[in-house]
Homo-oligomer: A and B are copies of this chain.
């Protein structure tokens, strides 16, 4: 493969995670490695707010900014996208001629030959479209999508960077909530609402305590199964017979068989710029249902943003892998790979062993991976041991961010 000499640009897109900056640090480390070895990539630019900022030439010189090792370590421990993010998807090639011409002009101006885009499903769509464009525009470029999403819903890759840290936060927090709820003797139901519009991966993580000491939610409901209010009330009543403090984990996206979100019972749905339904209050809707139909004490807790940005409780495995895929993206690109998304292949679960690889991004974008049948119990109200065993290695290891005056240090670019 011929050496392609030029500069690189990296962007972050989509929702923040606790590990997306670790992947950014990985890309920076990869470029610094390449530089050390007399590589082809000279300067690594960061685009502020993804392609939105790139189109406005809001660029920052990352190779210069992160020459200092401590800054890179702090970046790895900083939650959310340090470069800023966007929700912008590129138009199709036929519809967005002007946009692509503008991009080409900027690539030429800054001699950008490498394009790294860290994000989830919508971001892989951007990487795929740009890959398509790069093939026909006559300007040689290498484009790599680098996955991150707490949702764990990308196909081909065994799991996504960012998911393990969110899973560790959810597993830990739900267990702390279980301890908190166990202190009173009065019958009470606590409903924990967890992120996950179409896939229940994060909600599965609420059951991680099973392999530690058996403490996990009494019931777990995922969007992969139709939600039935009568069956739900039956399950809750049965759980209340077993012990007084019932804790239930639910995905925000659980739906009835006729496709209605549970939260629509409260009329609280709205739509985001991509036409996705914005869900709020599914836990609240179930709280009202239990209150009305069972009449015991009931509360709901929405884990909300902290589940995706709690860097102070990141999984060491997740952060290490996030750096690895970032670094791997640069290595792959410098070796000639393009139009690919980086992937993590699981070679073995026990002992846990992975391999960093990559796969055609156009075959990955705009598809979603659900929790498989064998991870969900027959009754559709909990997860199987197989699911817990799949999840466990992803939350292994604790990360120790640097604290200053009692608070974790964050890097702001």
Residues of A within 8 A of B (CB): 12, 16, 49, 52, 78-81, 84-87, 168, 171-173, 175-177, 179-185, 190, 208-209, 211-213, 215, 301-306, 308-313, 315, 392, 395-398, 403-410, 412
Contact = CB atoms under 8 A, between A and B. Distances in A.
A302 B392 CA distance: 29
Given A312-B313, A406-B397, A176 B304 contact: no
A205 to B, nearest CB: 10
Nearest to A214: B412
Given A172-B312, A306-B306, A183 B407 contact: no
Contact of A309 (B52, B179, B310, B405): B179
Contacts of A208: 405-407
Nearest to A392: B405
Contacts of A181: 305
B313 A180 contact: no
A60 to B, nearest CB: 15
Nearest to A281: B284
B406 A180 contact: no
A49 B185 contact: yes
A100 to B, nearest CB: 22
Given A16-B179, A313-B313, 18 more contacts: A16-B183, A49-B184, A79-B179, A80-B180, A81-B183, A87-B184, A168-B406, A172-B407, A173-B306, A176-B305, A176-B311, A177-B309, A182-B412, A302-B304, A303-B306, A306-B306, A392-B405, A396-B405
Nearest to A280: B299
Contact of A185 (B52, B309, B313): B52
A182 B82 CA distance: 9
Contacts of A211: 405
A179 B78 contact: yes
Contacts of A185: 49, 52, 84, 86
A39 B244 CA distance: 40
B84 A183 contact: yes
Nearest to A50: B183
A178 to B, nearest CB: 9
Top 10 A-B residue pairs of the complex, sorted by shortest distance between their CB atoms: A395-B406, A85-B183, A180-B309, A80-B179, A176-B309, A80-B180, A81-B183, A301-B304, A16-B180, A396-B406
B213 A305 contact: no
